[in-house]
Amino acid sequence: MSAWPIVRLSDVTTLSSGGTPSKANAAFWAGDIPWVSPKDMKTACVVDAEDKITRAAVDESAARVVGTSSVLAVVRSGILAHTFPVATIAREVAFNQDIKAITPKNGSLLPAYLYWMLKGQEARILSIGVKKGATVHSLSNGFLEALAFPLPPLEEQRRIVGLLDRAAEVRRRADAARAKARTIIPALFLEMFGDPATNPKGWSRQRLGEVIDGIVGGKNIEAGKGSSPYRILKVSAVTSGYFRPDEAKPAPDQYQPMPEHHIRAGDFLFSRANTSALVGAVAIVEGDASSLLLPDKIWRIEWRREVVEPRFMYSTLRSSEVRRVFAQVASGTSDSMKNISQGKLRSIEVPIPPLSLQIDFAQQAECIEATARALNAAVTKADAMAAALSAEVFG
C-alpha cells in the first residue's frame, strides 16, 4: 500500500455544483429528471428524488445533470454537524446547490472506490473540513478539492470495493431480518392472544401488581470522567423496544454500585420516566451487561414466573392498548417528561392467558429473533473488518 500514489481529489475528478430552477415557473417542476437535495441523500445509492424537473429547467438554470459515473456529496446542510452524506447514483439526476457531484476522470478511479474513500474519511472531513454556522454548516471552500487519498491500481480498487460492499450487504440483511422480526412477532401475538384492548378470546384479566414479583430502581448519579469500569444506562437504552447497551454514560470515578443495580442478562427493563410517547418503553437484556448499571428512570421488573412468561409480558406491554394506558396514567406537566408510579403500574389490568400458551409464544418468538441475533454477530464481524480495511487504506 505504501507504493500507491497519493492524489488530491481535484487531480482525478471533476467537482460540479448544482442549482435550483425557478420555483415561479411551475413547468420546470413537472418533468421526470430527479432533482436531488440533501433530504434525498439518505441511502448509499440514490435511485429517485422527491422533486423532479424538466430538461428545460436544466437548460435554463444553474441545475446540471450527471450520470451514474458520478458520486454525490452534501456540502451545505445542518446534517454536516454529525454526518457527511455521500451516495452513488443509479440513474441520470440533477441536483441542487447544497450538493456537489464528483465525477472521476482519466479512467483511473472507480466511482465505487470514490464512494468508499469519502465514507472512510467521514470523521476527518467532519472534524476539520466543516465550517459551522448558526443553523447550517458547510464544507470549507476548496476542502474537498484538496482532499488527499491513496489511489491503488484499478484491480486493487475492485478488491477493496468488493470487501466493503460485502460488509454493507451483511448489514443490510441483518437490518431486514430485524425489521421482519418486528413485524412477525406482533402479528403472532395478535393471532395467539387477540388484541388486549378487546380481549376477544376472553382471557382472565389481572392487575400487573398481581403478576409482578418485584421492582428494582436504580440511582440518579452524575456521569464520571470515564475511568470507572461501570457505565450507567440512559433512558434511550430501552426506548426503541430493543436493548441498546451503547446508550450509556460513564459512572463516577471510584463509584462502587450496589449489587442490585447491576444489569443482568435477561433483565426486563421498564422506562418509568420518559416523553409522553415513550414512557413505559420496555426491553429485555441480551448478552453480558454486567458493567452496566440501572439509572433512576429505568426499573428492573421481576415477574412471577409461575403465572407469566417475561417474553409474553414484553409483547403485552408493547401493545398499542397498553401503551395508550401508560400515556393516560403517567403524570407530569409537560409532554417532554412523564412519570409512571409503581402504584399506577401495578393497578393496570391486562389479559393473562394460560402459562403454557405464553411459553409456546415465547419459544416461537425466540426462534424468529435467533436469526436476527445470528446476523447481528455477522454484522459485528463485518463492521470490524470494514473499519480495519478503511483505516488501513484511507487512514
pLDDT per position as a tens digit, 79-130? 999 999 999 999 999 999 999 999 999 899 999 999 999 999 999 999 999 9
Cα distance between residue 69 and residue 58, in whole Å: 19
Query: In angstroms, rounded to a whole number, what is the distance separating the alpha carbons of residues 329 and 347?
Result: 10
Is the pLDDT at 181 greater than 80, yes or no? no
Q: List phi, psi (to 5°) of 172.
A: -60, -45
Residue 342 has a pLDDT of: 95
With the C-alpha atoms ordered 322, 328, 333, 334, is the resulting torsion angle positive or negative?
positive
Over range 255-260, report the average pLDDT: 89
pLDDT tens readout for residues 17-58: 999 999 999 999 999 999 999 999 999 999 999 999 999 999
Tell me which H or E stretch contains 130: strand 130-131
HSE-CB of 325 using CA atoms within 13 angstroms:
17
Kindly report the pTM of this predicted structure.
0.68
Report the C-alpha gap between 375 and 280 in whole angstroms.
Answer: 28
Q: Which residues, in sequence order, are bridge partners of residue 53?
A: 33
First vs last C-alpha separation in the chain: 11
CA 253 to chain centre: 30
Confidence band of 2 (pLDDT split at 50, 70, 90)? low
Q: Is the pLDDT of residue 379 over 80?
A: no
**DSSP class of 120:** H
pLDDT tens for 57-82 read: 999 999 999 999 999 999 999 999 99
Local confidence band at 134 (pLDDT 50, 70, 90 cut-offs): confident
Q: Which residue has the higher pLDDT, 288 or 205?
A: 205
Q: Which run of H or E residues covers position 115?
A: helix 111-120
